[in-house]
Amino acid sequence: MRMPPPDNAILSRRDTIAEGLRRIVGEAHVMDDEASLKAYETDALSAYRQMPMLVVLPGDTGEVSSVLAFCKREGVKIVPRGAGTGLSGGALPLEDGITVGLGRFNRILEIDYANRAAVVQPGVANLTISQAMDAAGFYYAPDPSSQIACSIGGNVAENSGGVHCLKYGLTTNNLLGVEMVMMGGEILRIGGKQFDSDGYDLLGLITGSEGMLGVITEVTVRILPKPPVAQALLIGFPSNDNAGRCVADIIAAGIIPAGLELMDKPAIHATEDFCNAGYPLDAESILICELDGPEVEVAELVHRVGDIARSCEASSLRVSESEAERQKFWLGRKSAFPAAGRLAPDYYVMDGTIPRHRLAEVLARITDLSKEYELQVANVFHAGDGNLHPLILFDSNVPGELERTEEMGGKILKLCVEVGGVLTGEHGVGVEKRDLMGEMFNEIDLKQQQRIKCAFDEGHLLNPGKVFPILHRCAELGRLHVHGGELPFPDLPRF
DSSP sequence for 19-88: HHHHHHH-GGGEE-SHHHHHTTS--S-TT-----SEEE---SHHHHHHHHHHHHHHT-EEEEESSS--SS
- What are φ and ψ of residue 125, in 5° steps? -70, 145
Predicted local distance difference test score (pLDDT) of residue 493: 38
Sign of the C-alpha dihedral computed for residues 217, 149, 206 and 177 taken in this order? negative
Give the CA angle between residues 431, 436, 439 to the nearest 5°: 155
| CA distances for 290 relative to 139, 227, 261, angstroms | 16, 12, 9
Residue bearing the bigger pLDDT, 241 or 3 = 241
Given a cut of 90, whether residue 197 has pLDDT beyond it is: no
How would CATH label the architecture of 344-430? 2-Layer Sandwich (3.30)
**Domain 229-337 belongs to what topology?**
Alpha-Beta Plaits (3.30.70)
For range 32-41, the mean pLDDT: 96
Predicted local distance difference test score (pLDDT) of residue 484: 44
Concatenated DSSP letters of 98-139: EEEE-TT---EEEEETTTTEEEE-TTSBHHHHHHHTGGGTEE
Q: Considering the chain, what percentage of its residues have pLDDT values greater than 70?
A: 95
Predicted local distance difference test score (pLDDT) of residue 78: 97
- What are φ and ψ of residue 462, in 5° steps? -90, 110
For range 47-54, the mean pLDDT: 92
Given a cut of 90, whether residue 194 has pLDDT beyond it is: no
| CA distances for 222 relative to 141, 148, 152, angstroms | 8, 19, 12
Lowest-confidence segment of 76-90, 118-132, 176-190, 461-475 by average pLDDT: 461-475
Sign of the C-alpha dihedral computed for residues 171, 108, 125 and 83 taken in this order? positive
Predicted local distance difference test score (pLDDT) of residue 1: 61
Given a cut of 90, whether residue 79 has pLDDT beyond it is: yes
Integer Cα distance of 288 and 310 in angstroms: 14
Predicted local distance difference test score (pLDDT) of residue 478: 63
* 421, 352 Cβ separation under 8 angstroms: yes
For range 190-194, the mean pLDDT: 89
Lowest-confidence segment of 108-117, 218-227, 335-344, 371-380 by average pLDDT: 335-344
Residue 487 pLDDT grade (very low, low, confident, very high; cuts 50, 70, 90): very low
Nearest partner of 56 among 24, 34, 9, 83, judged by Cα: 24
For range 283-288, the mean pLDDT: 97
Lowest-confidence segment of 24-38, 191-205, 440-454, 479-493 by average pLDDT: 479-493
Integer Cα distance of 389 and 337 in angstroms: 10
Predicted local distance difference test score (pLDDT) of residue 479: 46
Integer Cα distance of 261 and 127 in angstroms: 20
Integer Cα distance of 347 and 301 in angstroms: 37
Predicted local distance difference test score (pLDDT) of residue 5: 82
Give me Rg for the CA atoms of the chain: 24
Q: Which residues pair with 190 in a beta bridge?
A: 178
* Segment 114-166, tens digit of pLDDT: 999 999 999 999 999 999 999 999 999 999 989 999 999 999 999 999 999 99
Nearest partner of 364 among 305, 310, 285, judged by Cα: 285
How would CATH label the architecture of 1-226? 2-Layer Sandwich (3.30)
Given a cut of 90, whether residue 48 has pLDDT beyond it is: no
Predicted local distance difference test score (pLDDT) of residue 490: 43
Give residues with Cβ within 8 angstroms of 189, minimum separation 6: 177, 178, 179
- What are φ and ψ of residue 144, in 5° steps? -55, 155
Across 41-45, 105-109, 199-203, 271-275, the highest mean pLDDT is recorded for 105-109
Given a cut of 50, whether residue 483 has pLDDT beyond it is: no
Go through 154-172 and write b for each residue having 16 or more CB atoms within 10 A of its CB, e for each that does not. bbbbbbbbbbbbbbbbbbb
Nearest partner of 85 among 141, 29, 44, judged by Cα: 44
Integer Cα distance of 190 and 177 in angstroms: 5
Mean model confidence pLDDT for the chain: 93
Residue 342 pLDDT grade (very low, low, confident, very high; cuts 50, 70, 90): confident
Q: Considering the chain, what percentage of its residues have pLDDT values greater than 90?
A: 87
Predicted local distance difference test score (pLDDT) of residue 491: 42
